[in-house]
Structure 1
């Protein structure tokens, strides 16, 4: 028995993720197909909330890939991710995470790796899968809006450009002006792009055909149906920005039709408002990718990916397989003999 535990730190994770954007995109897309075909196990996420610190939370996402899958090896593991928005005031990242992968035969943890970069990457790429299959397969966008200009938004922009998207105009809104300015400078590193900064989320929505929400809001605040009369495509990454009434009046695509009905997401609140009838959910993204379901464009499209643990696992497994070919850091005799 091997008593060692492998360790993969942020620098190594970042190096791997930056080298393989196309491969990672395919991994996320295939993970959705795998999930739709019941090749994965995604246990419900567990949320740890703090009455004395209501803005913060820590989430556990356990998952597994079943044996004998065409494009994936059997694996299990968990992501443990903290979200502390007030860390910004301390000049620290909002999110921190680790991911542990377990051996499929023994259950012993094989590797512990930095997880916030993997989490941000899979979150961004899951949104981009939605953009391609719900907005435009030609990978072009005249007006992209980004509500919330932090870590996840940066990853969305990064991977859009790495994956060859052509974007004419980028619109920004964040309630923290420092975040907007920092994000503007980051975007300009990709070239001479037209960037518009908005003083309100309303004007941004009205100006854009594709909008990504990556805020830390806990209660839906967008209630005006008129803001969406131009029928945009919404990548509702942060899950709690749009009111239940607007959700019910839109075409809804999710990553998992059961997991999304929890934790006071906008879709969950719409489900409760709709007398616990989930028929307003049109499809899962896995169904759309496999062309099992065609999505009409006669209404606003809202894509709400709850965030499946299988995405973290599949990306982590890819990183681990790459690093195993190099020198792994070990903690020897971590487990008892």
Structure 2
């Protein structure tokens, strides 16, 4: 792991590590991410390799639930991390998920990321984090799809269950990565959202149709994207999935423990992926999945594991704070002096 930088190693473009603070709003973040697709993908892959090698400092995320009722889905999560490497970074993401916002015409998730100076520990930047969080989640899905498909970038049918920002961003990034689909089947509990989603990808993505049930969407799908807000498993029958399908289980809690049995299981980091009553955690607790059989996606990136297309593969990345911090650092580095950034030179003075 790299040591913190000396004074001489700090770029002259860095904010004052004791008193300066940069504030990056969503518009600045969106512009930066649009021009950093390749670099962001490389950062995600590097973090996953670090995770597989045990090199991250990524404490367990902390969940704040304002209402203890398990049926309620509102939560705020704190994800601190230190990322080693050529461009080390340190900070925390504070992200809320309030599904009821959708009924108010607001995004489900909102977030901010705080980056800290590596030498002094003082905060140096506050960055709008929901876009970074959503984008790195989509890139995580792309990396997993590529690793578990053997780099084919081809699926006869893509099933999309859940049609929010994460799902839309993931499909866009799959297409940008060169994936080709004969058809895309889309399902959402709200049919109007599924129809709107399908219409948004009608050009350039093969046949895109909204269907009336999850089972109909999954039928014959080689690649499956689960991006719901489910808090209780609801997919209980593994026969709904095509043999050898790759399931991008981004929402983590859609599959019952029984449906997880017998599949290849891949995660971002094993211990994190078993927390907070995820489907994989429940399956391990029930004795239906062996802990030793779960592999980090970094093993596939390193060539230490290879995809088995004869079995259902379920990719369940819990969401490492390291990804947010690393991508936020990339955004900050590429927006020095950009219009729209607010600099507070004496924030802590």
Q: Give the TM bin, normalised by the shorter chain.
A: over 0.9
Give 2:331's match in structure 1, choosing from 285, 296, 319: 319
The 5-angstrom pairing of residues 35-114 of structure 1 reads 35-51=51-67, 54-66=72-84, 69=85, 72-114=86-128
Q: Give unmatched runs, 5+ long, in structure 2.
A: 1-15
User: 2:252 maps to which residue?
Assistant: 239
User: 1:12 maps to which residue?
Assistant: 28
Verify: 1:24 aligned to 2:36, yes or no. Answer: no
Residues of 2 paired with 1:125 and 1:76: CA distance?
Answer: 21
Residues of 1 paired with 2:338 and 2:136: CA distance?
Answer: 23
Residues of 2 paired with 1:178 and 1:228: CA distance?
Answer: 25
Residues of 2 paired with 1:192 and 1:211: CA distance?
Answer: 15
The CA deviation at 1:181 is 2.1
Residue aligned with 1:258, SS: helix
Give 1:287's match in structure 2, choosing from 284, 295, 299: 299
The CA deviation at 1:35 is 2.0
Is this contact kept in 2: 1:56–1:84, CA < 8 A? yes
Is this contact kept in 2: 1:95–1:116, CA < 8 A? yes
User: 1:202 maps to which residue?
Assistant: 215
Residues of 2 paired with 1:34 and 1:100: CA distance?
Answer: 22
Verify: 1:222 aligned to 2:238, yes or no. Answer: no
CA spacing shift, 1:229–1:74, aligned 2, 3 Å: closer
CA displacement, residues 38-80 of structure 1 (integer Å, 9 cap, x when unaligned): 33211101011122672211111110013xx2xx322210110
The CA deviation at 1:153 is 0.6
Mean Cα displacement is larger for which, 81-90 or 48-57?
48-57
User: 1:165 maps to which residue?
Assistant: 179
Give 1:148's match in structure 2, choosing from 162, 184, 190: 162
Residues of 2 paired with 1:155 and 1:94: CA distance?
Answer: 14
Verify: 1:333 aligned to 2:349, yes or no. Answer: no
Residues of 2 paired with 1:270 and 1:256: CA distance?
Answer: 16
Q: CA RMSD in A?
A: 1.7
Is this contact kept in 1: 2:93–2:129, CA < 8 A? yes
Residues of 1 paired with 2:182 and 2:79: CA distance?
Answer: 37
Give 2:149's match in structure 1, choosing from 135, 149, 158: 135
CA displacement, residues 240-264 of structure 1 (integer Å, 9 cap, x when unaligned): 0011112122110111110111100
The CA deviation at 1:116 is 0.5
The 5-angstrom pairing of residues 119-134 of structure 1 reads 119-134=133-148
CA displacement, residues 268-295 of structure 1 (integer Å, 9 cap, x when unaligned): 10111018951342x1100111111123
TM-score by length of 1: 0.93
The CA deviation at 1:229 is 5.0
Mean Cα displacement is larger for which, 79-88 or 31-40?
31-40
Residues of 2 paired with 1:75 and 1:315: CA distance?
Answer: 9
Query: How many residue pairs align between the two structures?
Result: 330
